[in-house]
Each structure stands twice: as C-alpha cells, then as structure tokens.
C-alpha cells in the first residue's frame, strides 16, 4: 500500500487523512508543526523564503523520513510566489536525495486539462473509479466543513467560558470524535455530539466580548502554530474572533471559482487590482468588518509576503476612513509568543477603552442639556 502525505494546515489534516485512507492509500499524517519542524525547514530553505514555505518544507522532510512515497499539495496562481513553492520544494528535496512522487494541484479553473490529467494518475495509483472517488470526496468534504463549523463555534464560545481552557478541552475532544467518524452517518452524529459538547461549556452570559476580525495570508491564518494560537489567546482575553478565511469557503470561492466579486468591489477604491495571495481580500474584508460593527481588525502576514505588504500599506487609510483600529502582525521564525501576546494585550486594552469612551459619549448625548 503506497504511503501518501500532505502539508499540515490547521485541523484540515483530519479531512485529508480520511480522503487518503478512503482512496486506499496509507496516510502518513503530518504531525503538528513545531519549532523543530521550522528549524528543519529553515536549514534547507532559501533565506528570502517566507515562513509558510519553511514550515511546509520542514513538514515534508518529516513525513519523507517517516516513509512517505507520495506527497499531494496545492499550487497557486497570480503574482504571489507561492505558486512556485511546490516546484521549489521538490527541487530542494530531490537535491537532498529523497525519491518520491509529488502531485501539485493548481486551481482547476486555471487549466482543467492538467488538473484532471494529474487526478487520473492519482486515481490510477489508487485503483479507484471516478464514481467511487466522488463518494470519497463527499465524505472528506463533510468532515472539513464540520471542522470549520466547530472552529467558528469555539471562537464564539471561548470568551464566555467561566473556567479558562474549558472550550479548548471540549474542542480537542471534538477532534478525536471527528477522527473516529468515517461514514456520512457517523460524521452527522459527530456533528451533533460536538455541538452539544461545546454548548455544554459553562458560560457567563453577562460578559460583553469585543469582536475582532482577522485577515491575512491563508497559511498563517489557518495554522495555529504559525499564528501562535492567536484565536485561542484572544478568546481567553475575552474576544470573539472571526477569520476572513476558512478552508471550505476559500475552496468554494477561490479554488473552484474566481474569487468573491463583492470583496474585490469593496476593496476597489483602495486597491483596484489583484496583487496575488489575499492582499486585495485583506483590504476588502477590513472594510466589511468595519461596516459590520467590529471593534478592530488584526492583519497576519508572513515576513516578505508581497500581497500582504501591499495591503499593509493601504490599511492605515482604511482604518482612518472607516474609524476602525487595525493591528498588523508580521510573522517569521524570529517571532516570539511573549512579544505577540504583549501586543495583543495592548491592542485589546485600547479597544476596550475606545468602546467605553464611545459609550460614554453616546450616553452623555442622551442627557438633557447636551
């Protein structure tokens, strides 16, 4: 049985593990990225490469050392250099002496022929019919959607939890439950069980959490190791977070279609062209968060990420025009957890004071004589 692996990106590894196993391969599930993973990637990556490149390279080295014979990954389009990362990963790994198959799947709308040609080769290796493959994908997709749903539910629950860490413990239980679910019926049952688990977390409904939107580059947004568990940290500070990207909605709007036209139109007065990656979306989503009454926005960007550098240069004007504070955090291998937490605490304090001042002014305006 061929050993197949893939990059680790947030909790999606559970969906991809099921996809690979249901195709008849042995899944070499990548471990959660760690400082050792990053160190391994840094050792062999070009210095100028961004931190997602280095972390993914470290992950590939780890799974190849565990016996992976095939790696399946995604490509990219546009001016973002991430579109070339798969090829560069392959060149580095082959120069190190690894012998393996690499399948890089670019978005199908950029070339249906190459997409289906590669897919047919993988299905031939798996000895799987197209009909059986559709069924396999349907179950994996249901699992990925459930993971996105529960992640969002956890971020809304965590700021109200009475006992710190209760939501995270419930969510981790859910990951085990979801991993055990295999059929469509079992995944549906896991959904009900996990929703009940998260709903049963004791809450203090008197709290009034802040709401912060999170925008930026996809890998840094989705992978907790990359963003230093920013959503968990903010949640335990009493903040509801909402990410601009979840894997299944991104796949629907940007991989299987040509992006969300609304976001581009919203960003157009400030950034009127596609700059690669998620730069234009970061600008548009920030405007949307402001319109929807969020207290602030945090932009997460890998160091040297050009699309997010473009967005970062524009966000101060968006912040001023829409009266919404924006904090930009640039992440690289030198970024320390303590430093990020200090900046988050200061930002949250600022937002709380701002809210109190706005409410005081609003209340004063209602008093006679004002």
Please state the φ and ψ torsions of residue 85, each to the nearest 5 degrees. -65, -35
Residues 138 and 24 in one domain: no
Residues 169 and 39 in one domain: no
pLDDT at 183: 95
State which H helix or E strand residue 244 sits in: none
Residues 150 and 94 in one domain: no
Using only C-alpha atoms, the chain has a radius of gyration, in whole angstroms, of 22
Q: Which of 206, 232, 253 is the last residue of a domain?
A: 206
Average pLDDT over residues 240-245: 93
Residues 215 and 336 in one domain: yes
pLDDT confidence bin for 369, thresholds 50/70/90? low
Number of domains comprising the chain: 3
**62: helix, coil or strand?**
helix
Q: Strands, E, within the chain: which ranges?
A: 3-6, 26-27, 70-74, 101-105, 210-216, 239-243, 296-302, 326-331
State which H helix or E strand residue 318 sits in: helix 306-322
Q: Which of 127, 152, 176 is the last residue of a domain?
A: 127
Q: Which of 92, 127, 162 is the last residue of a domain?
A: 127
CATH code (residue 119): 3.40.50.11890
Which tens digits make up the pLDDT trace of 54-86? 999 999 999 999 999 999 998 876 667 777 888
Which tens digits make up the pLDDT trace of 176-202? 999 999 999 999 999 999 999 999 999
Residues 166 and 90 in one domain: no
Which tens digits make up the pLDDT trace of 118-161? 999 999 999 999 999 999 999 999 999 999 999 999 999 999 99
Crossing angle between the packed helical segments 306-322 and 279-291, to the nearest 10 degrees: 20
pLDDT at 365: 75
Residues 154 and 231 in one domain: no
Residues 28 and 121 in one domain: yes
pLDDT confidence bin for 367, thresholds 50/70/90? low
The domain in which residue 146 lies consists of: 129-206
The candidate with the shortest Cα–Cα distance to 152, out of 208, 213, 105, is 213
Mean per-residue pLDDT of the chain? 93
| Residue 370 reports pLDDT greater than 60 | no
Residues 253 and 326 in one domain: yes
Residues 171 and 215 in one domain: no
Residue whose pair of structure tokens reads 């599930």 in the numeric block: 29
Crossing angle between the packed helical segments 130-157 and 13-22, to the nearest 10 degrees: 160
Please state the φ and ψ torsions of residue 304, each to the nearest 5 degrees. 75, 10
Contacts 24+ apart (CB under 8 A), 265-272: 270/314, 270/317, 270/318, 271/310, 271/311, 271/314
Which pair of structure tokens corresponds to residue 342? 């200090």
pLDDT at 290: 97
Which tens digits make up the pLDDT trace of 218-230? 999 999 999 999 9
Residues 190 and 248 in one domain: no
Residues 231 and 326 in one domain: yes
Residues 215 and 361 in one domain: yes
Q: For residues 259 and 55, which has the higher predicted lDDT (pLDDT)? A: 55
Q: SS3 letters for 265-317?
A: HHHCCCCCCCCCCCHHHHHHHHHHHHHCCCCEEEEEEECCCHHHHHHHHHHHH
Asked whether 261 and 254 are in contact (CB, 8 A), the reply is: no
């Amino acid at each position: 049985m061929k050993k197949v692996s893939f990059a680790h990106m947030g909790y999606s590894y559970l969906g991809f593990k099921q996809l690979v196993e249901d195709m008849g391969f042995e899944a070499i599930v990548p471990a959660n990225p760690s400082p050792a993973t990053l160190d391994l990637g840094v050792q062999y990556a070009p210095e100028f490469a961004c931190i997602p490149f280095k972390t993914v390279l470290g992950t590939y080295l780890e799974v190849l050392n565990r016996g992976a014979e095939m790696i399946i990954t995604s490509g990219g389009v546009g001016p973002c250099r991430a579109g070339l990362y798969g090829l560069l990963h392959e060149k580095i790994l082959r120069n190190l002496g690894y012998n393996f198959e690499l399948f890089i799947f670019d978005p199908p709308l950029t070339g249906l022929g190459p997409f289906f040609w590669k897919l047919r080769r993988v299905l031939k290796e798996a000895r799987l019919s197209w009909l059986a493959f559709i069924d396999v994908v349907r179950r994996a997709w249901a699992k990925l959607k459930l993971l996105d749903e529960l992640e969002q539910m956890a971020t809304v629950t965590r700021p109200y939890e009475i006992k710190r860490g209760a939501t995270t413990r419930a969510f981790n239980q859910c990951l085990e439950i979801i991993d055990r679910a295999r059929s469509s019926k079992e995944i549906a049952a896991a959904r009900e069980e996990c929703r009940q688990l998260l709903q049963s977390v004791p809450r203090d409904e008197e709290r009034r959490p802040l709401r912060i939107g999170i925008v930026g580059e996809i890998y840094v947004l989705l992978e907790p190791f990359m963003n230093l568990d920013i959503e968990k940290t903010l949640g335990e500070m009493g903040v509801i977070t909402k990410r601009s990207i979840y894997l299944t909605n991104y796949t629907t709007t940007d991989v299987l279609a040509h992006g969300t036209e609304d976001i581009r139109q919203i960003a157009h007065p400030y950034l009127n062209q596609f700059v690669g990656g998620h730069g234009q979306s970061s600008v548009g989503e920030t405007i949307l968060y402001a319109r929807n009454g969020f207290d602030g926005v945090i932009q997460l960007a890998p160091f040297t990420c050009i699309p997010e550098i473009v967005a970062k240069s524009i966000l101060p004007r968006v912040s001023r025009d829409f009266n919404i504070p924006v904090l930009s955090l640039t992440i690289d291998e030198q970024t320390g957890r303590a430093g990020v937490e200090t900046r988050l605490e200061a930002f949250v304090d600022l937002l709380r004071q701002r809210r109190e001042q706005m409410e005081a002014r609003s209340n004063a305006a209602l008093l006679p004589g004002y």
